[in-house]
Amino acid sequence: MERIRHVIDGGLKDSATGATFMTTNPYTREPWAEVALGGEREVRAAIDAARRAFDEGPWGRMPVAERVTLLHRFADLLERDAPELSRMDTLDMGKPYGDGSGADVAGNASHLREHAEHARLATAPTFPGNGRHHIFSQYEAAGVVAAITPWNLPVLMAVSKLGPALAWGNTVVLKPAEQSPAAATRLALLALEAGVPPGVVNVVHGFGPGAAGEALASSPGIDRLTFTGSTAAGAAIGMLAARHLVPVLLECGGKGPSIIFADADPELAIPMSAMAAFANSGQLCVAGSRVYAQRPVYEEVVRGLVEQARAWVVGDPMDPATRLGPLATGEQFARVQGFLEEIPAAGGTILTGGAIPGGWLVRPTVVTGLAPGARACREEIFGPVVVVTPFDTDDEVVALANDTEFGLSASCFTRDRGRAHEMADRLRAGIVWVNTFGVRDWRAPFGGYRRSGVGREGAEHSRAFYTEAKTVVLGY
Ligand code: NAI
Ligand code: MG
């Protein structure tokens, strides 16, 4: 049994009470590591350490170039330990080992590097011409950043918070998902090894409501709260932070459409839509879980998706041949099964897929025949399940695609450039992919409309969130 501990003030710590919980390997369904169970006391210690490191430590006043050098060293170590970090994600939540589908561990180092470079090169506006005063602005670190992350991409989620928060000079208390704690502790140790001072990156393990997560989100001692996870938890956390007017960044759920027009290249559109639906077992906030296919190609798209679904190898996530591991938890498996069980009664047909008995594996699943009001068409399933629906006109598909409470991502496939631009304008989502899926650029804004979240990540947006902007007026 491996052990996973908190990292507070630069040291590995157990909880004051010695309490622990287990993290389960979802493929074997056996616990594989014992984790320190943090609560209010550990959260308070971590926030205090982060505050001291911010106020008194060398981090707060470190020249940006030195900070950037440390962050590049941190990124180098993340790359060095990519196999170990990948192993931790596989054991914690079943992601295929070394998975490249939008989630590869070495590539995540770019979060650290690119935000660091942005901070290094950043300037701030001056406001000349007043004649009697020199007026300029500057961006200052916000302070102590609380980060609460989910289990679907543990390393990526942690570095997507650490990268910009550290680049702009903040200190951090990270509470990773209780289902996938391992990578966070390792990342904090790598930051220390890179020379990031003690107390700058703290990790507290534990649960959400009524536990470590809630203690962190409701603390008056934090200056920012950044969260990725479900819409329900995002709303709860936002309300906790609002009590102390702590600004929040919330990246929540999605129900992404993939629109395939009759003029699309099927060789591109079908495999991309399959990837959008099935990658990471559908446990992606940007998953394309609704496919809309234009009537003339509807049958071809359905056939193609079924073929793709059957070709994806499902099984042991440590086996290099595997493209889909198990769902991350028994809870998640039960949730997805609940959606699948309702489909026949709602008038739908499962053409291929379904759960594999005796574990938490779900084969890529293709569903047709559902009306837009069906639960599987409206709620985030977070499993490898795609619902395919025909459409006739552009107006009709825009209405269908936008008929959702979410608005994180959308993709569409067409060879008509005018239509591509029009779709990009009309789809109400924070990122629209045309003839592709999943491509991100850390400079570009990322975040959701409506219930998909509050705020945006991405270079300038991250700077706005993780800093305070100050105006200085100097009299001549
Ligand atoms: P969750 O959103 O409840 O948990 C995410 C993180 O928030 C965890 O670290 C958890 O401990 C923390 N948390 C939850 N409630 C909290 C509270 N009241 N105060 C402070 N911290 C809190 O995710 P969960 O329950 O594991 O998954 C349920 C569903 O959420 C999934 O089936 C999926 O549909 C959705 N989800 C969506 C994600 C996305 O990226 N869009 C990621 C994870 C889950
Ligand atoms: Mg687990």
Q: How many CB atoms lie within 10 A of CB 138?
A: 14
- CA–CA separation, 16 and 388 (whole Å): 52
CA distance 4 to 19: 12
- Predicted confidence at residue 447, as pLDDT, reads 98
Q: Is the pTM of this model over 0.95?
A: yes
Active site residue 251: yes
Distance of CA 280 from the midpoint of ligand 2 (Å):
15
pLDDT (0 to 100) of residue 125: 97
H helix count then E strand count, the chain: 16, 20
Largest Cα span, the chain: 77
Ligand 1 contacts CB of residue 160 (under 6 A): no
Look at ligand 1, atom 25, and give the residue with the nearest C-alpha.
230
Query: Residues 41, 42, 46, 49: is their CA dihedral positive or negative?
Result: positive
Query: How far is ligand 2, taken at its centre, from the CA of residue 204, in Å?
Result: 16
- Write down the CATH superfamily of domain 257-434: Aldehyde Dehydrogenase; Chain A, domain 2 (3.40.309.10)
Is residue 466 within 8 A of residue 444, CB to CB? The reply is no
Question: Is residue 275 within 8 Å of 437, Cβ to Cβ?
Answer: yes
Q: Is the CB of 229 under 6 A from ligand 1?
A: yes
* CB distance 213 to ligand 1 below 6 Å: yes
Instruction: Report the residue among 230, 231, 284, 329 best suited for mutation to probe ligand 1: largest number of ligand atoms under 8 A from its CB.
Output: 230
Centre of ligand 1 to C-alpha 228, Å, is 7
Q: Which residues contact 346 (CB under 8 A, 6 or more apart)?
A: 370, 371, 374, 375, 376
Alpha carbon distance 445, 320 (integer Å): 33
Is 158 touching ligand 1 by the criterion CB < 6 Å?
no
Minimum-distance ligand 1 atom for the alpha carbon of 379 = 34
Considering only the top CATH level, what class is 2-252?
Answer: alpha beta
Model pLDDT, residue 393? 98
Asked if residue 291 has its Cβ within 6 Å of ligand 1, the reply is no
425: Cβ–Cβ under 8 A, 6 or more apart, which residues?
none
The order of strands in the sheet holding 248-251 is 11-13, 6-8, 201-203, 171-175, 144-148, 224-228, 248-251, 453-454
* DSSP secondary structure letter of residue 126: B
d(CA 212, CA 203): 11
In a structure prediction context, what are the per-residue pLDDT tens digits for the chain, which is 476 residues long? 999 999 999 999 999 999 999 999 999 999 999 999 999 999 999 999 999 999 998 998 899 999 999 999 999 999 999 999 999 999 999 999 977 544 477 778 998 999 999 999 999 999 998 899 999 999 999 999 999 999 999 999 999 999 999 999 999 999 999 999 999 999 999 999 999 999 999 999 999 999 999 999 999 999 999 999 999 999 999 999 999 999 999 999 999 999 999 999 999 999 999 999 999 999 999 999 999 999 999 999 999 999 999 999 999 999 999 999 999 999 999 999 999 999 999 999 999 999 999 999 999 999 999 999 999 999 999 999 999 999 999 999 999 999 999 999 999 999 999 999 999 999 999 999 999 999 999 999 999 999 999 999 999 999 999 999 999 999 99
Helix (H, G, I), strand (E, B) or coil at 429: coil
Collect all residues with Cβ–Cβ distance below 8 Å to 316 and sequence separation of at least 6.
27, 322, 325
Ligand 1 centroid, distance to 150 Cα (angstroms) = 6
Give the helix/strand (H/E) hosting 212: helix 212-217
Other beta carbons less than 10 A from residue 40's beta carbon: 15
Q: Where are the domains of the chain?
A: 2-252, 257-434
- Report how far residue 241's alpha carbon sits from residue 158's, in angstroms, rounded to the nearest whole number: 20
Exposed e or buried b per residue across 212-230, where buried means at least 16 C-beta atoms within 10 angstroms of its C-beta: bbbbbbbbebbbbbbbbbb
User: How many other C-beta atoms are found inside a 10 Å radius of the C-beta of residue 299?
Assistant: 11
For residue 102, the model assigns a pLDDT of 42
Closest Cα partner for 251 from 426, 430, 93, 464?
430
CA distance 53 to 46: 10
